[in-house]
Amino acid sequence: MKILRRFFIRLSNLATERGTDQRLQEEIAEHLVLQTEENMRGGMTPSEARRQATLKFGPAQAIRERHHAEQSIPFIENLLFDLRYAVRMLLRSPGFSFIAIATIALGIGATTAIYSVIDATLLHPLPYPNPAELVRVMDDLPGVGAQDVGISVPEWRDLESAGIFQSVSVSGTGADVNLTGSAQPERLSYKHATPNYFTVLGVDAQLGRTFDPHDATPGFNLEAVISDGLWRREFGADPHIVGKALRLDNDVYHVVGVMPRGFRDLGSTSEERNTEVWLGAGMAGLPFPPPRRGLRLQSRAVARLKPGLSIAAAQEHLDALVESLKKQYPEEYPSQAAWTVRLTPLSESVVGSVRQSLILLFGAVGLVLLISCVNVANLLLARASVRGREIAVRHALGAQRTRLIRQLLTESLLLFLLGGIAGCAILFFTRKFLLQLVPESLPHMNDISINWGVLAFALAVSVAAGTIFGLAPAWLMSSVDLIGTLRQEGRGSVGSHGRTRARQILVISELALSLVLMVAAGLLLRSFWDLFKVQPGFNPDRVVAIQTWLPGPNDPSQDIYRTATQESVLLREVLRRSRILPGVEEAAIGDVDALPLGHSNPGTLPLIREGIETMDNQAPVIHSPIVSPEYFHLLGMPLLRGRLFSDQDLEDTPQVAVINQAAARTYWPNQDPLGKRVRLHLDARELLNSAKPAWTTIVGVIADARTESLADVATPQIYRSVYQHPAKSLAIFLRGQLDPSTILEQERSQVQAVDPELPVFRAEALGDVLSTSLSVRRFSMEMVAFFAATALLLAGLGIYGTISYVVNERRREIAVRLALGAQRGNILKMVLRRGLGLAAAGAGLGVAGALIVSHLMTGLLYGVSPTDLPTFAGVTLVLTTVALAASYIPALRAMRLDPITTLHSE
Amino acid sequence: MKEKPDVLQGTLTLMVLKTLDVLGAQHGWGIARRIEQISEDLLAVNQGTLYPLLLKLEHEGSIASEWGVSENNRRARFYRLTAAGRKQLQAEARDWEQTAAIIARFFNVKAEDLT
């Protein structure tokens, strides 16, 4: 306590320092006067009296100093002094200060921007209590190469009672539902989940309640929890919402709770991210199939581990459980399927897909920061030659080296802090604009913000960078050759050898770093370009897809579109009405899976081939879009063999399918797939009412198209006709001269003229869908390219500064050479050679670094090898050109040096 | 010439406070003179160290100062004891007496007392 109090007294002394010292001086003077008078009264002469008084008093100056040292905090005082001096120095050379601060602002601002994205996505991916306890439980069948095949209800019950988890919830991956009864039928994202879902996540409702975690109602339990957004939008934030009815897909639910404002579902698919309604479901009983071990639900299991249990330990318990279950039910888990259950951190499954891109970006931005720091260090060193004399003088006057370093370090820290503040300020004012650049598919985009954590990061980076990159220049600057500098600085300046070497190393590393960035950007650009130029195998031009959704009530008998025949009446009428819309040339219908690149989680079905013995749960899975016969022609997907669907393929005629080449190659290698029969484990509802196994005959093969992902050459597809298989999620494809702003309204009125309860939404031009599918790649590429350009600019400035400095340093020597008759061209060459040497060293190091980096980012590349020669060569060429160009201006200046005036003035 | 002993560490504070307690408000020179007189020139008070101490005590709130007029009509700063200073003086005096008593006991002790 006493120490603390003394500290505060000293701190307050700091402010009143001057006053105190003055007081002391006054008192001393006063005392001396009084003592002198006393001495004179004792009979001394005035001068002797004064001398004796001073002698008696003691050394006044020493007393003052001791008092000062005792009463103040020299560290802070020096700091304030240094800071004052540093500010003066910065103000004295505003050009230097501005460039340095702007460079740092760029580096720190960009790093902070990317960090804020990483903070929201990678560091805080799960907005739930104790997120480390949350895991995803995934069933794999490695024996048949199938991953994440979904969990079955008996397995779920086994897990619940295994003693490994506090609770295990099973939920759909997010789907759509029609909300009717409001002004306009709306399509919402909903999620069915076991009632313990919110308990597992650990979040409670803001109004009302969530589901009763022990509820075991089969099927849906007719309770709904809604999101804050839906509550405000659709119900005007009605405080009495609890208990009100909600009509979803013609089923009536009651709202039991409203989730809090910030609550959002897991974010690995777009449907999940936007979930606005949660329905409690037992996962068994209508409309779910009866529970069987082999019948895996299209769902995901999220569990909360027992407290203190690590994932590894839990996995061990789980492995033992799986082994014993396999022994217990050998028929359900045949050994060739090799059923395993795997735990992964929930956060991983949410952000796994973007991690690599974000880390790449962070790496790139880190390099930019490094380059900007190197550049500032370079500038600081350049100033050393100007300030050499000042430092030497201070040295000569007795300043210790540590004191000088501290002074110089204070200056660089001040620079970096100002730069950091400027960077954050720019970031803050441009954040709206920057957020537009972030692709929408990034999970948790709404959470990106400049919060305290991000600001702390920026501060830490500024201080760390200021210390690291200020220390080296300070060290080099403070080691002055005293005599030499004082003698020479007056004339031409010959900087210390160490300083010159340091600058060259800095420039070389700058060049190397920017080469690494440029290679990364070049490779990404080439990947992107290749993807962009890739022939998708279908023709998206002038095609607009509009979605609509048929309700699927819980009780299938209530469904007016239950069978394909019932649905076909609607579809044919919609198609007929669509074709007469102005501008429409062709129209077709498909389900969402048939929408190229437009769905984030395509459904898959197990493929069972006739004559090949497979259990349902170990069959390979395949995408199976459902389309109307016109689909292939409208999208320009050519038929290679056999036939397409016709209007005569109906529900009561033999089931037919069209496959793509990839499916033919994969499943019937070296065979003619035409006429082969397959069974797709059809959706649950159909399974319930079809006694006979429905065999589907393959009647045609179409060319491969990249409808799943532009990066995938071909995914096997088996197309079925919408007139044989009802589909709920529909996309109406229209080709023609269409005005996107009006077509949605026109199509809506046509569809609702047939059925007023259908929502019609989201008109998308397929061309836009195509480019949106590349948005994450484009974002990474644009960012890295921007950083690379910045780096190149900075490196160019760095080499310019260094060569200028070298030329300046050797002015005298050059002048002598010229005076002795050296050719001006030779001088030019001499200087340029210096620049070229630096560029070559930088490029050599950079290529080595770039090779490492490019191999690390192989996963992000498409169609280009990580050692792509044209990219490497091109980038090296660009860098060398820039380096030469940057050396050219100082070289020109050297060449035009007038020997007479130079030598005279020196 | 015999060296005069230096003032014992910390005792100068006590002397200053006691002087002010006994004599009331005093200026710096006056305090210095009193201390010399009372110690009958046995102690070498470095007069200069007195002023930093006065400033320190004032900062700590033990004494307060104000301008006044000295005996020979000069403007001088007069120091006086504050309530806090008086309390501090009492505490320090008690401490000092205790220390002195302990030391005295050590001097009076004889070998046989310790067996």
Nearest CB among A20, A57, A70 relative to B48 is that of A57
B77 to chain A, any CB pair closer than 8 A? The answer is yes
Return the DSSP state at A817.
H
Q: Mean per-residue pLDDT for A216-227?
A: 87
Q: What is the pLDDT of residue A224?
A: 92
Report the alpha-carbon distance of residue A377 to residue A390 in Å, rounded. Answer: 19
Chain mean position to CA A26: 66
- DSSP designation for A446: G
Question: Are the beta carbons of B51 and A71 separated by less than 8 Å?
Answer: no
Separation in Å, CA A193 to CA A261, A734, A831: 20, 36, 72
Q: Is B108 on the interface with A (CB under 8 A)?
A: no
Looking at residue A897, its pLDDT comes to 80
Q: Determine the pLDDT at residue A697.
A: 92
CA distance A744 to A545: 10
Q: Which residues of B touch A31 (CB under 8 A)?
A: 28-29, 32, 47, 51
Calculate how close chain A gets to B65, using CA atoms only, in Å: 11
Residue A246, CA distances (Å) to A177, A215, A570, A582 in order? 11, 20, 25, 37
More confident residue, A67 or A553: A553
Which pLDDT band holds residue A480 (cuts at 50, 70, 90)?
low
Both tokens of A492, joined, read 């031409």
Other beta carbons less than 10 A from residue A306's beta carbon: 15
Q: Does B59 sit within 8 Å of A27, measured CB to CB? A: no
Quick check: A688 pLDDT over 50?
no
Residue A744 dihedral angles phi and psi, to the nearest 5°: -65, -45
Q: How far apart are CA A366 and CA A219, in angstroms?
A: 52
Tell which residue, A597, A900, A617, A901, has the closest CA to residue A775: A597
Residue A155 reports pLDDT greater than 50:
yes
State the residue for tokens 């001791």. Answer: A66
Q: Is A472 exposed, middle or buried (0-12, 13-18, 19+ CB in 10 A)?
A: middle
Integer Cα distance of A468 and B57 in angstroms: 44
Instruction: Indicate the range of A493-502, A542-551, A755-764 predicted with least confidence.
Output: A493-502
Asked if B28 lies within 8 A of A30 by C-beta distance, the reply is yes
How close does chain B come to A60, measured CA to CA in Å? 7
pLDDT of residue A490: 45
List helix spans (H) across A680-730.
Answer: 684-689
Whole-angstrom Cα distance, residue A886 to residue A795?
Answer: 9
Contact between chains at B51 and A58 (C-beta distance less than 8 A): no
- Looking at beta carbons, which residues of chain B come within 8 Å of A37? 72
Q: Classify strands A175-180 and A186-193 as parallel, antiparallel or unpaired.
A: antiparallel
Q: Which of A714, A680, A707 is nearest to A696 (CA)?
A: A680
Residue A52 confidence (pLDDT) above 70: yes
DSSP 8-state secondary structure symbol assigned to residue A742: H
Q: Which residue of A lies nearest to B31 if distances are taken between CA atoms?
A: A31
CA distance B52 to chain A (A): 6
Query: Do A303 and A200 meet the contact criterion of CB atoms below 8 Å apart?
Result: yes
B28 vs A20, A27, A60: nearest CB: A27
pLDDT at A165: 92
Q: Is B89 on the interface with A (CB under 8 A)?
A: no
Q: Cβ–Cβ of B52/A56 closer than 8 Å?
A: no
- The pLDDT mean for chain A works out to 83
> Is the Cβ of B46 closer than 8 Å to some Cβ of chain A?
yes
Predicted local distance difference test score (pLDDT) of residue A528: 85
Residues A240-286: pLDDT tens digits?
999 988 888 888 899 999 999 878 787 666 666 678 899 988 888 77
What length does chain B have?
115
CB atoms within 10 A of CB A834: 20
User: How much is the pLDDT for A491?
Assistant: 45
For residue B79, the distance in angstroms to the closest alpha carbon of chain A comes to 12
**B55 contacts A28? CB cut-off 8 A:** no
Span A345-368, average pLDDT: 80
Chain B residues lying within 8 Å of A66, measured CB to CB? 52
Hey, which residues does A304 pair with through a beta bridge?
A134, A167
> Which residue of chain B has the CA closest to A64?
B52
CA triple A44-A49-A52, angle to 5 deg: 120
A150-154, A277-281, A369-373, A469-473: the lowest-pLDDT one: A469-473
Interchain CB contact of B17 with A (< 8 Å): no
Token pair 């990219």 is found at A871
CA atoms within 13 A on the CB side of B1: 3
* CA distance linking residue B53 with residue B17, whole number of Å: 11
Tokens 């103040």 appear where? A72
Residue from A765, A351, A355 nearest A597 by CA: A765
Structure confidence at residue A616 (pLDDT):
52
pLDDT at A16: 62
Task: Count CB atoms within 10 A of the CB of residue A868.
Answer: 19
Which residues from chain A sit within 8 angstroms of residue B46, using beta carbons? 58
A and B: number of Cβ contacts within 8 A: 57
CB contact under 8 A, A30 and B29: yes
Q: Is A662 left (phi over 0), alpha (psi -120 to 50) or beta?
A: alpha
Question: Is residue B16 within 8 angstroms of chain A, CB to CB?
Answer: no
Q: Dihedral of CA A633/A636/A637/A641: which sign?
A: positive
Chain-chain contact of A57 with B77 (C-beta, under 8 angstroms): no
Residue A31 C-alpha, separation from nearest chain B C-alpha, in angstroms: 5
* B-chain residues near A68 (CB < 8 A): none
C-alpha to C-alpha distance for A545 and A764, rounded to whole angstroms: 5
Whose CA is closest to A279, among A217, A228, A232? A217
Which residues of A are less than 8 Å from B78 in CB distance?
none
Listed in order, strand segments (DSSP E) in A152-276 are 165-172, 175-180, 186-193, 207-208, 220-226, 245-248, 251-258
Q: Is the pLDDT of residue A316 over 50?
A: yes
Q: Do B77 and A56 touch (CB under 8 A)?
A: no
Are A63 and B48 in contact (CB < 8 Å)? yes
From chain B, the residues in CB contact with A35 under 8 A are 29, 47
Lowest mean pLDDT among A516-520, A659-663, A873-877, A899-903: A899-903
**Which residues of A715-794 form beta strands (DSSP E)?**
718-721, 729-736, 760-765
The predicted structure's pLDDT at residue A70 = 67
CA distance B44 to chain A (A): 10
Q: Which of B27, B29, B51 sits opposite A35 (nearest CB)?
A: B29
- Chain B residues with CB under 8 Å of A34 CB are 29, 70, 74, 76
Measure CB to CB from residue B48 to each of A23, A58, A71 and give the nearest one.
A58
Question: Is the per-residue pLDDT at A572 higher than 90?
Answer: yes
Distances (CA, A) of A142 to A154, A294, A442: 20, 15, 30
Q: Are A585 and A736 within 8 A, CB to CB?
A: yes
CA-nearest of A373, A377, A383 to A92 is A383
- Lowest mean pLDDT segment, chosen from A64-73, A449-458, A784-793, B7-16: A64-73
- Can you give the pLDDT at residue A12? 66
A624-647 pLDDT tens trace: 899 999 999 999 999 999 999 988
Say whether pLDDT at A230 is over 70. Answer: yes
User: Which residue in chain B is spatially nearest to A68 when comparing CA positions?
Assistant: B52
Residue pointed to by tokens 């500032």:
A376
Checking if the pLDDT of B3 tops 80, the result is no
pTM exceeds 0.80: no
Query: Taking CB atoms and an 8 Å limit, are A56 and B47 in contact across chains?
Result: yes
How far is the CA of A720 from the CAs of A397, A561, A634, A727, in angstroms? 92, 17, 16, 10
pLDDT reading at A354 higher than 80: no
Q: Is the CB of B57 inside 8 Å of chain A's CB atoms?
A: no
Give which of B13, B47, B65 to mutate to test A binding, by max A Cβ within 10 Å. B47
Q: Say what angle helices A74-92 and A94-118 make with each other, to 10 degrees.
A: 110
Indicate the length of chain A as a whole number: 906
Span A676-695, mean pLDDT? 61
Residue A488 clears pLDDT 70, i.e. is over it: no
Report the distance separating Cα A267 and Cα A275, nearest Å: 10
Extract the tokens encoding A401: 């080296």
Neighboring chain A residues of B71 at a CB cutoff of 8 Å? none
Name the closest residue on chain A to residue B36, using Cα atoms: A56
- Look at residue A848 in the predicted model and tell me its pLDDT: 93
Q: With an 8 Å Cβ cutoff, is B4 touching chain A? A: no
Residue-range domain boundaries for chain A: 2-72, 142-338, 353-533+775-905, 552-756
Q: ipTM of this model?
A: 0.80
Q: Using CA atoms, how far apart are residues A626 and A609, in angstroms rounded to an integer?
A: 19
What pLDDT is recorded for position A233?
Answer: 85
What is B40-109 written as a DSSP string? TT-SB--HHHHHHHHHHHHHHTSEEEEEEE-TTS-EEEEEEE-HHHHHHHHHHHHHHHHHHHHHHHHHH-
